Structure 1
Amino acid sequence: MLILKMRGKELRILIAVALALVTGAAGAAGSGRYVVTGSDALTSTLVSRWAALDGRAVRWEASSDFTLHDAARLNEKAQLADAASLEDAFNRLSKIELAEKPDGPVLFACSYKGGPVALEVREVGQSGCGKPQN
């Protein structure tokens, strides 16, 4: 047994390295796939970045967009690390945006399972997804 033959200092180093690896893996797992980063400036570019993770795109047809501030706060309030899908992450984020700006536009998204477009984003008052804009 290699561990039994280690001296005190070597064993402490091994334990420290093991703990660092476990802690790092736990932190990465908790960060989630659909999170806001400090470099995300607008909701449209954020959602497009998320779609690009799967090699897909977002068709942003809403006439409005939201400026993103304080990535950590948005991640926490919307619990984005727990989002199961792009559509789920978008819905969580748009719910927070509506709560913070109740007089702002209400965004909605249609999700597509296949093809190059993952989400089509519009706002209430525009025609439904897949239909030409009036």
Structure 2
Amino acid sequence: MATEAFEEIVEDFEFIEDWEDRYRHVIDLGKAMDPLDDALKVPSTKVDGCASQVWLHPRIEAGLFSFDGDSDAMIVRGLIAVLRCLYNGVPVHDVTAIDARAELERLGLNEHLSAQRSNGVRAMIERVRLVASEA
């Protein structure tokens, strides 16, 4: 059920065997993302439960879900980029059917993130699912 953009990340990870290189790739994905406008970094877009500062700005246009995001931590910014690839462009009614944990396991991320980072990823996923379920 993953998007084409997420499948590309999976394919990239198949060729990157060393976890440090994968980590750098995630950071590079975050660096390639446009920064979130400071005007959107408000309490309503802030994600609680993350060790670092995280903002997600969701949109639903023509029935498709997408979001932009930002963080003050490079690895978290990269994780936002990965989640964007997983969710952006998906019909809003299909968002909650995505098993994000299983998809991220395909990248081996779950076993290499600290407990705090894993909790932050869960918080971001829950925010995405909540917004989509309320649409």
TM-score normalized by structure 2? 0.25
TM-score normalized by structure 1? 0.25
Q: Which has the larger radius of gyration?
A: 1
